[in-house]
Amino acid sequence: MISRVLASIKKKKKEGFTMSSPGVQLHIQKHHVVMDNGIVQVTLSKPDGIVTGIRYNGVDNLLEVLNKETNRGYWDLVWSAPGVKGGFDVIKGTCFEVIVQNEDQLELSFKRMWDHSLEGKYVPLNIDKRFILLRGSSGFYSYGIYEHLHGWPDFDLTETRITFKLRKDKFQYMAMADNRQRIMPFPEDRMPGRCQPLAYQEAVLLVNPKDPRLKGEVDDKYQYSCKNIDNKVHGWISFSPSVGFWQITPSDEFRSGGPFKQNLTSHVGPTTLAIFLSGHYAGQDLVPKWRGGEPWKKVFGPVYIYLNSGSTGDDPLVLWEDAKIKMATEVQSWPYLFPASEDFLKPDQRGNINGRLLVLDRTINSGPEQT
């Protein structure tokens, strides 16, 4: 049954590609821009670079239409000056630019440049948020370029990520692994009268949830954390219509902490996260700190927002199986060829290292141990 439905999804994708519009189109409006490839339409505020709408499979907007436009799809960070309490910042661009525009690809840039007049107000970084839509792609890519110039103020960067807030009236089933997927509580279930606060603010006991089957359960976004090495695809399924929204991370190279560092994935909202830097589960040891005017530049991503759909009567859970297949394809395609920024190194600009790593662990034995 699953193989038959997956074959049907693949056929729909192939037909969608061959019968799609001639190419990728860009519509520039007064306060928004729209990327459109005939499969998905992505609307972003201009020049902010906030994702305000995602149109797909007949649904006008997969993002939460009840939220303000600034609270739907956005890059954010938490930063602080040394010894000062951290501040949360939804990154809004001040300059919009079309980087690539042809029938096969669009790449858009939303920059926020820093100067000393902004000291104390914004993190001392030049930030360039990029969004890419490819011809025939059932989704879009995003990556960011962060730059701290020599002599700029010291600061700590506690967290940075991409956040998507989906429609709660449609996305109620979450999946992050074969054995970690379920019907999720509504955001209202975490409000007073429907829950009982527990030891810390993220954890609540559901005492009067909208879905009575969830009564007595604990909801806590940290329940859905996992190691980076396993954090390649996660997201949400809408049963009516049958639509999947998936966040795919094809590589760990731009995430802090290495493959065994735990990070958040998706949680009640419905919310989906792409975490790049985070002190979760580690604390200050994994918070980057810039001192003495140290220069620095880093590319985060690209990550892929993948959308899929099923036919009426199909098992919607097959969308998870299809998302895993797409994730494997993205992993095999890394590093990507299409990002236009010269700061993203292409395959022919990268090297390889081979050999053996010998570790001397004095708690086990006195000789080297091969790993």
The pLDDT of residue 367:
54
Tell me if the bond preceding 209 is cis, omega within 30° of 0.
Answer: no
- CA dist 340 and 346 (Å) reads 10
The pLDDT of residue 249:
98
Q: Which residues contact 23 (CB under 8 A, 6 or more apart)?
A: 37, 102, 103, 104, 135
The pLDDT of residue 197:
95
The pLDDT of residue 20:
46
Region label for 151, one of left (φ > 0), alpha (ψ between -120 and 50) or beta (otherwise): left
Tell me the β-bridge partners of 264.
none
Cβ density class 193-222: b for 16+ within 10 Å, e for less: ebbeeeeeeebbebeebeeeebeebebbbe
The pLDDT of residue 319:
97
The pLDDT of residue 315:
85
For the chain, the 3-state helix, strand and coil shares in percent, each to the nearest 5, are 15, 40, 45
What's the token pair of residue 49? 């670079």
Q: Which residues contact 121 (CB under 8 A, 6 or more apart)?
A: none
- CA dist 61 and 64 (Å) reads 8
The structure tokens 């927002």 sit at 305
Query: In 154-282, which ranges are E strands?
Result: 155-165, 171-177, 180-183, 195-197, 204-206, 218-219, 226-227, 233-238, 243-248, 262-263, 266-267, 271-278
The size of the chain, in residues, is 371
* Segments in the chain below pLDDT 70: 1-22, 365-371
The two beta strands, 271-278 and 155-165, are: antiparallel
- CA dist 221 and 281 (Å) reads 13
DSSP string, 259-325: TT-EE--EETTTEEEEEEEE-TTTGGGGS-EE-TT--EEEEEEEEEEEEEE--TTS-TTHHHHHHHH
- Helix, strand or coil for residue 212? helix
Q: How far is CA 245 from CA 20, 198, 238, 240, 259, in A?
A: 21, 30, 8, 13, 24
- Tens digit of each residue's pLDDT (9 = 90 or more) over 52-99: 999 999 999 999 999 999 999 999 999 999 989 889 999 999 999 999
Cβ density class 22-54: b for 16+ within 10 Å, e for less: ebbbeeeeeebbbbbbbbbbbbbbbbbbbbbbb
- CA dist 60 and 50 (Å) reads 17
What's the token pair of residue 184? 């999720």
Cβ proximity of 113 and 124 under 8 Å = no
